[in-house]
């Protein structure tokens, strides 16, 4: 069974969101997603300062098996990207909720956070797949 930390928020496209409490969020892909992808070999991240809307493509993760889009789960401006993934994409597999984070956004509309899934809701969504 994959790991779904209770303190994070989720979307059904398998990104996790950590609400930092200062109007910013950190985003990555879930343990369930990295397990389904298999070994990650390349990660394409959004540009710094890019304006993204909830649901936009914000990057690509390529594993030995397939390429998958990464979606922005909420709207905002990109304020940080995890450049370490360039040289060590395997961190997405080994530490999806820690060193394997993808990017940080400054939220444009905090009310969008209300639409995100809780850990329990996300676990239930995964089981339905």
Name the site residues for other proteins (rule: CB under 8 A): 38-39, 41-42, 44, 60, 62, 64-67, 90, 93
Six-digit token string for 96: 């999806």
Q: Which is nearer to other proteins, 8 or 29 (CB)?
A: 29
Q: Which is nearer to other proteins, 59 or 76 (CB)?
A: 59
Q: Which is nearer to other proteins, 20 or 35 (CB)?
A: 35
The least CB distance from residue 126 to other proteins, in Å, is: 17
The neighbour count for residue 123, using CB atoms within 10 Å, is 15
Q: Which is nearer to other proteins, 69 or 110 (CB)?
A: 69
Report d(CA 1, CA 53) in Å as an integer: 32
Dihedral sign, CA of 99, 25, 80, 62?
A: positive
Q: Is 39 helix (H, G, I), strand (E, B) or coil?
A: coil
Alpha helix (H) ranges present in 1-129? 31-37, 84-87, 91-94, 119-128
Residue pair 78/61 in contact (Cβ under 8 Å)? The answer is: no
């Amino acid at each position: 069974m994959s790991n779904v930390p209770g303190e994070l928020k989720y979307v059904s496209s398998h990104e996790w969101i950590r609400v930092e409490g200062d109007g910013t969020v950190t985003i990555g892909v879930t343990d369930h997603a990295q397990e389904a992808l298999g070994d990650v070999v390349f990660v394409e991240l959004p540009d710094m300062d890019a304006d993204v809307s909830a649901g936009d493509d914000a990057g690509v993760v390529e594993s030995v098996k397939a390429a998958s889009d990464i979606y922005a789960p909420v709207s905002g401006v990109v304020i940080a990207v995890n450049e370490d993934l360039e040289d060590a994409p395997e961190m997405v597999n080994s530490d999806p909720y820690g060193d394997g984070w993808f990017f940080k956004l400054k939220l444009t509309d905090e009310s969008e956070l209300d639409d995100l899934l809780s850990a329990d809701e996300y676990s239930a969504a995964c089981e339905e797949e």
